[in-house]
Structures are given as structure tokens and as C-alpha cells.
Structure 1
């Protein structure tokens, strides 16, 4: 596995991964992500060095984003904390411990910058909530987000 910051040449792959994962989530009844993703928004995040891409050999199989935040939903967080978001692993690669690789990378990345790392998920996704708790994240509570609730975690 190789992780690196996404570059503009990766834009199509990043958007494709996000769209494929969003479709898969919606098929499972998880509606946290809109479909399709806005290409312009992802392009801005790549240009802002917030996007990362994960490769298995030379195939892009996942993406995730880390950005600075000062708040998350209704939760105040320490200024310039890191927020891990849009973790997307192609469906055929899910369940192979790749999420743990991403989590470890993001924790190490934030630790090197001496920043607290936050992440969230749809409050109804019990499997993902257990995954985050199992990787040492502290559950901070459920908070409203549009027409659903998100569970927020910190490490």
C-alpha cells in the first residue's frame, strides 16, 4: 500500500472513487454522502493539499481528506485541529483492513503536526462506530447534520 497527497492528475480517479463509494453507501441505506460528488469542490480540495490517495500496487483503491477545522457541527474544537473526512475505499477492497491503514496514517500525520484528529460518521452506522472506537477514538456524541445525526470522534 502506498499513500500520497492527491495531485491534479488524480482528480478523475478521486472523483470516481468517491462516486462509486457513495453509490454503494446509498444502496446500503446510508445517505451521509450526496451523489454525484461536485468535481469543482474536489478539485479545490486537491489544490489545497487536503486530498490523499491510496494505491494497491499501481491501482488507486481509496481516498481520504484531512483539513484544518475550528468546529465540527455544533461541537467546538481546539483551533486548527485536523478533520479526517471522506474516507472512501472501493467496495471490492473493503473489509481488508485498509481502513485501519488510513486511520493509522491520519493519526500519524496529525500527531507529527501536534494536532488533535477528529472524524465523524452517520450516527446509524454501528459497524463504523465500532471500528472507530476499536481504533482508540473517543466518542464525543451525536450532533445534528442536515436531516440526520453524525457521531463525532476524537483522538
Structure 2
């Protein structure tokens, strides 16, 4: 299977939101928390700023994810020199292809080219399955943060605790 990591385009926004809808339905089936939707404006801004990506598998969109380069509400004083990966969604037909590992390879390459020292991500603190998966993919668990200030973040961040992960380059 040929994989390509490409920037999402404005024409991809409906596909991205279909992926988010699939992810929310899946989260509701397997866990006690789920995303609560995202604004099209936020996703369009990510596309415009070249921070929304898609992974094509033999030409088909198999996975989407977003990145940011600062995340102060989540990472606080540690928010520096990092690429933060958010909202990874794999199409159900492509589960099991280890796209998180592909994203890590892509992020390492991006980080080296742009003098970035950390690859970081977060997930719900009580999602043991994802905690184990992310550490199995090479992330180091670095602790838990409880969200006090969430203005500007998606609604599902309100009043939650997050496990933090990073890869030091």
C-alpha cells in the first residue's frame, strides 16, 4: 500500500467532518467520553494555515489529523519547541494500519527540518486503551493535567483531565 501525508485542501472539509462524525460515533460505542463537534471555521483556519493533514492510502483518504505549534492551555510552561498532534481519525476500513506510527515518522521528519524538539499529544486521562497505544507507538507518558482554562478549545476539553505524551528529538 502506498501512503502519502498531504496537506488537506479546502475541498476536503466535508470529508474531514465525515471522519469526525465517524470518530464520535465510535467514541460513543467504546468509551464514556466523546468529542462534541468542531467548528468549520476552526478547521478551515487549520487548512488555510497548512496545519490540517490527510493520509492517502493508494489514493483514498484513510486518516486525517491536525497539528499546532503551541498549546499553552494544555501544556502550560512546557509549551515550547513542539509540534502538537490533534484529532487523529482513521477511517474504519483502514483501522489496524498503524497510522499513528506513520504520523510520528512524518512529524519527526517535519520537526528535524524545522528545528522542533518535541512531538506531543494528549488524550483523556482515563482512556487506558489509548494510553497504552500511544506509549506503544513510542510516546513517553509525561503526566496528567486538569483543564481549568479552556476558552478557545473545543467543548470536550471543559472540566477534564488529560494524559500528556511526548517524543523528545
Q: TM-score with structure 2 length normalisation?
A: 0.81
- Root-mean-square deviation (CA, aligned residues, Å) is 1.8
Maintained 8 Å contact 1:68/1:83: yes
Q: How does 1:96-135 map to 2 (within 5 A)?
A: 96-115=97-116, 116-135=118-137
| Distance across 1 between alignment mates of 2:99 and 2:93 | 11
The match for 1:138 is: 140
The match for 2:166 is: 154
Change (3 A) 1:111 1:72: farther
Q: CA deviation at 1:30?
A: 4.5
Between the two proteins, the alignment pairs up a number of residues equal to 154
Which 4+ residue blocks in structure 1 deviate beyond 3 angstroms?
none
| Distance across 1 between alignment mates of 2:95 and 2:32 | 16
Determine which structure has the larger strand proportion and give its number. Answer: 1
Maintained 8 Å contact 2:100/2:137: no
Q: How does 1:27-42 map to 2 (within 5 A)?
A: 27-35=29-37, 37-42=38-43
SS at match of 1:79: coil
SS at match of 1:76: helix
Could you tell me which runs of 5 or more consecutive residues in structure 2 were left unpaired when the two chains were aligned.
148-157
SS at match of 1:128: helix
Which 10-residue stretch deviates more, 130-139 or 68-77? 68-77
| Distance across 1 between alignment mates of 2:73 and 2:120 | 9
| Distance across 1 between alignment mates of 2:105 and 2:141 | 17
SS at match of 2:141: strand
Q: How does 1:40-79 map to 2 (within 5 A)?
A: 40-69=41-70, 71-73=72-74, 75-79=76-80
